[in-house]
Amino acid sequence: MTKTKRFYLSTALPYVNAQPHIGFALEAIQADVVARYHRFLGEDVFFLTGTDENSLKNVKAAEKTGVSVKELVDRNAAEFYKLKQALNLSFDDFIRTSEKRHRLGVEKLWTACQKDIYKKKYKGLYCVGCEEFYKESELDNGLCPEHKIKPEVVEEENFFFRLSKYQERLKEIIEKDKIEIIPPERKREILGVIKQGLEDICISRSVKRAHGWGIRTPGDNSQIVWVWFDALANYITALGYADKEPRFQKFWQENENKLHIIGKGISRFHCLYWPAILLSAGLSLPKTIFIHGYITVGKEKMSKSLGNVVSPFDLVEKYGTDPVRYFFLREIPPSEDGDFSIERFESRYNTDLANGLGNLTSRVIALSKKLKINPSLKKEFGDKEVRIEVERAYQNSFKALEHFSFNKSLEEIWSLINFSDRYIERERPWKTKNKQVIGNLLFILSEIAMMLKVFLPEASKRILKQIETGESKPLFPRI
Ligand SMILES: [Zn+2]
């Protein structure tokens, strides 16, 4: 018997200084589709998400709202957890970096990297938004390129990690795709960063600067572990790295297929710092890092000050879970920036879901009911012409998914919907009453539902149920 293939994947951990917005929803939905796809293939999947709670951002947000940091992170982490139901996410674990299992893992990882950690006095420019130091040359007119704010001047004695030592190894690992960075433009960017030379990174801050919040550095109570060293560790602490749990061995150390899905703003942490830390600690490396773009709203960057932050909960409440999943997968290019607008959303909804998929479903169910076709006979149908179409759609759709081309993958399924519409027009079964034709349509519809399982799990179930019962109800009422 062959061993079941294992597959591990994670989202990045969002900061919980605010409520979830659609930027993280995009990432969570993409990851969920990948997880469901690998389960569909029969693999043993572990899908991880959670919340990053030990950042200065959270401390500052709590100060602003006048609540304790603990209160703020508890409240917002609960909101992030609610995405599970709202977006129908199938993650296997949800780690909060304020948990004990995480702290113990971070302490262990720090200790495992001890030979590459040293203390030094340092002066630098720190952006709290990024939770990162910047060099003068990296700033945009003196401002953080990501947040367009002036970084703070920090002068402290901190711990440093010898990133420079791993420069050549990282270069080789990335050039040779031992860690594959997708898309290739991002890989080139990272290689460009390495080419400029990697400097050691500051991995702690004073307890005072951290306002006492976070994980103390092992062996030195005056310092708190830098939030990125802390947060990156979640990918293994959740698996039980601290206690050598079997699932850490199974899904990390003894598993080739490990994927991180992240946004483009944090590629350096994941493609350089994280592998270097793992190398230092003598641990296994991730295999793939898939990097998505950002979502703009009405072509503007989402921001509180512009008042254009879109809540995934509001969208789900108004349109339902599957339409939200569909829009982000179909409309936002997987690895580039994409734009959200209610007009685009409703247009996709009406054209692709209400008309395309919904209409086909109700037509086929109505026809089969009228001609009293026993839907359970559908497997005996499927003429050669129809089977070829279905086979082609499956192959192309899966191939696109392997490359994280969610939009392309859905296009392939919709090409099958278009084929069915043309087939109905050509065969005119409402006139001919040809049972074979209707059987063929039931066959295609059930295959479409199977393919949609990873994208639109609820709609998939409902279509299969309608085929089974012959009861037709609009899948997606027009808006
Ligand atoms: Zn910044």
Distance from residue 175's CA to the centre of ligand 1 (Å): 28
- The total of other beta-carbon atoms located within 10 Å of residue 296's CB is 17
195-239, pLDDT tens digit by residue? 999 999 999 999 999 999 999 999 999 999 999 999 999 999 999
C-alpha of residue 221 to centroid of ligand 1, in Å: 28
- The chain-wide mean pLDDT, for the chain, equals 95
Buried-exposed string 374-394: b where 16+ CB fall within 10 A, e elsewhere: ebeebeebbeeebeebbeebb
Mean pLDDT score, 377-398 = 87
Q: Distance from the CA of 162 to the center of ligand 1, in angstroms?
A: 23
CA 191 – ligand 1 centroid, Å: 22
Q: Compute, in angstroms, the gap from residue 373 CA to the centroid of ligand 1.
A: 62
Q: If you count them, how many residues does the chain have?
A: 479
Q: How many whole angstroms from 411 Cα to the centroid of ligand 1?
A: 36
pLDDT tens-digit profile of 406-465? 999 999 999 999 999 999 999 999 999 998 999 999 999 999 999 999 999 999 999 999
Q: pLDDT class for 377, splitting at 50, 70, 90?
A: low
- Cα–Cα distance for residue pair 348/365, rounded to 1 Å: 23
Which structural domains are found in the chain, ordered by start? 345-469 (1.10.730.10)
Residue 378 has a pLDDT of 62
**CA 149 – ligand 1 centroid, Å:** 7
Pairwise CA distance, residues 211 & 60, whole Å: 9
Residue 12 CA to ligand 1 centre (angstroms): 17
50 CA to middle of ligand 1, Å?
22
- Residue 2 — pLDDT band, cuts 50, 70, 90? low
**Average of per-residue pLDDT across 328-337:** 96
**Distance of CA 282 from the midpoint of ligand 1 (Å):** 31
* 170 pLDDT higher than 90: yes
- Would the pLDDT of 1 be above 60? no
The pLDDT assigned to 305 comes to: 73
Mean pLDDT value of segment 190-197: 97
Q: How sure is the predictor about 376, in pLDDT bands with cuts at 50, 70 and 90?
A: low
Q: Which pLDDT does position 379 carry in this prediction?
A: 64
253/286 Cα distance (integer angstroms): 10
Q: Is a pLDDT exceeding 90 seen at residue 301?
A: no
Q: Which range (48-57, 349-358, 371-380) has the least confidence? A: 371-380
Ligand 1 centroid from CA 71, angstroms? 25
**How close is the Cα of 133 to the center of ligand 1, in Å?**
9
Q: How far is the CA of 166 from the centre of ligand 1 (A)?
A: 25
Query: What is the pLDDT, as a whole number, of residue 374?
Result: 75
| CA-wise closest residue to 92 among 164, 7, 170, 14 | 7
pLDDT in tens, 7-40: 999 999 999 988 999 999 999 999 999 999 999 9
What is the 243 CA–ligand 1 centroid distance (Å)? 35
400 in Cβ contact with 408 (< 8 Å): yes
The string of DSSP letters for 349-388 reads IIIIIIIIIIHHHHHHHHHHHHTT--GGGGGG---HHHHH
**Ligand 1 center to 56 CA (angstroms):** 12
pLDDT, tens digit, for every residue of 86-119?
999 999 999 999 999 999 999 999 999 999 999 9
If you measure from the C-alpha of residue 240 to the centroid of ligand 1, how many angstroms do you get, rounded to a whole number? 32
Distance from the alpha carbon of residue 129 to the mean position of ligand 1, in angstroms:
4
pLDDT, one tens digit per residue, over 243-296 is: 999 999 999 999 999 999 999 999 999 999 999 999 999 999 999 999 999 999
Q: How do beta strands 295-297 and 300-301 pair?
A: antiparallel
DSSP annotation of 15 reads B
Q: Pick the residue with more confidence: 397 or 145?
A: 397
**Predicted confidence (pLDDT) per residue in 120-136, tens digit:** 999 999 998 888 999 99
Distance 139 CA to ligand 1 centre (A): 10
Least confident of 178-182, 270-274, 369-373: 369-373
Residue 389 Cα to ligand 1 middle (Å):
49
From the CA of 318, how far away is ligand 1's center (Å)?
A: 33
**CA of 100 relative to ligand 1 center, distance in Å:** 29
The CA distances from residue 384 to 241, 347, 368, 416, 421, in Å, are 52, 35, 20, 15, 17
Output the CA 147–ligand 1 centroid distance in Å: 4
- HSE-up of 287 (CA within 13 Å, CB side)? 13
Calculate how far, in angstroms, residue 85's C-alpha sits from the geometric centre of ligand 1: 31
d(CA 386, CA 381): 9
Q: How far is the CA of 108 from the centre of ligand 1 (A)?
A: 29
